[in-house]
Amino acid sequence: MLTAQVLHALLDAVGAGSGVRLLDVASGPGNGTAQAAQRGATAIGADISPAMATHACRQYPEVPFVVADAEDLPFGEGAFQAVMTNFGLLHLSQPERALQEFCRVLRKGGRVGLTVWAPPEEAVGFGILLRSVEAHGNPNVLLPAGPPFFRFSDPQECRRVLEEGGFAEPKVVQVPQTWRLPSSDLLIEAFLEATVRTGGLLRAQSVKALENIRAAVREACQSYEKDGTIELPMPAMLASARKK
């Protein structure tokens, strides 16, 4: 899984280890929570989707998962020594509110860590797709209101919001990741099936436009073909800080 490639660095950033009580927000299928538990942390996963929490419980029955809203966490003040979210913040309608909640449930000196995508100029899969839509489709289709997807790809903005959320010494680094696909057609399918807003953007295109977008994606991916596999650089931005 592409988004799991950054987990080792994220867990290091929040100090996940023996005796550390850790909350994984927007835990999804539970991979990050389980890896934290494997390091010896007392880890809890939290996701707003009951179906996703149930799936995570089935996949990792030894790890607790709860249904919870990132912007209104059902935990007391100072309940955790570490809070993390892997590609979760960019999907939240009120990310500042979520960061305030992360700060509230952290003990003083506790660590927060979050990942988002690098900007589309560097996260090549996004860049290829968005340029193809701009050239051959309609990039301005009506979608449900949501936060700017690449807002926290900007290190300066990320540090600013963390500091305003009650955190000190924010650090933002880029972590290399590679998206390996057996064919360029699977890039479109992945965005259609596994993303919310980008998938909505594609589904809103006309049949003809979508055909042209697919052709443009195929052509752009040729530059990244290696031994029959498409290898796209898809770096993550990893931000971490401590509670004041």
Q: What is the token pair recorded at 237?
A: 């931005």
Does residue 223 have a pLDDT over 90?
yes
Position 196 scores a pLDDT of 77
Does residue 48 have a pLDDT over 70?
yes
Average pLDDT of the residues in 132-139:
94
The pLDDT-based confidence of 198 (bands split at 50, 70, 90) is confident
Position 230 scores a pLDDT of 96
Percent of the chain whose predicted confidence (pLDDT) is above 90? 89
Does residue 144 have a pLDDT over 80?
no
Position 145 scores a pLDDT of 67
Give CA angle at 9 (231, 235), nearest 5°.
Answer: 30
Position 143 scores a pLDDT of 75
**Which region among 4-18, 20-34, 190-204 has the lowest average model confidence (pLDDT)?**
190-204
- Selection from 97, 43, 39 nearest residue 73 by Cα: 97
Residue found under tokens 């000196």: 109
CATH code of the domain in which 238 resides: 3.40.50.150
- Report the chain's mean pLDDT, rounded to a whole number: 94
Residues in a beta bridge with 229:
226
- Selection from 192, 44, 5, 161 nearest residue 92 by Cα: 161
Alpha carbon distance 80, 44 (integer Å): 10
114 φ, ψ to 5°? -145, 150
Using only C-alpha atoms, the chain has a radius of gyration, in whole angstroms, of: 19
Residue found under tokens 């929570």: 33
Question: What is residue 93's DSSP assignment?
Answer: S
Average pLDDT of the residues in 81-90:
95
Q: How far is CA 240 from the centre of its chain?
A: 14
- Selection from 156, 4, 46, 152 nearest residue 91 by Cα: 152
Does residue 62 have a pLDDT over 90?
yes
Q: What is the pTM of this model?
A: 0.92
Amino acid at 147: P
Average pLDDT of the residues in 66-89:
97
Alpha carbon distance 216, 166 (integer Å): 44
155-164 vs 95-105: helix crossing angle, rounded to 10: 50
Domains identified in the chain, total number: 1
The pLDDT-based confidence of 121 (bands split at 50, 70, 90) is very high
Q: What is the token pair recorded at 102?
A: 């992360």
Position 148 scores a pLDDT of 85
By residue range, what is the domain housing residue 77? 2-243
Contact 79, 103 (CB under 8 A): no
Average pLDDT of the residues in 197-226:
93
Q: How far is CA 77 from the centre of its chain?
A: 25
Question: What is residue 173's DSSP assignment?
Answer: E
Order of strands, sheet of 178-181, starting from the edge strand that comes earlier in the sequence = 178-181, 229-233, 225-226
Strand ranges in 55-210 using DSSP code E only, listed in sequence order: 65-67, 80-86, 106-117, 167-175, 178-181
The pLDDT-based confidence of 147 (bands split at 50, 70, 90) is confident
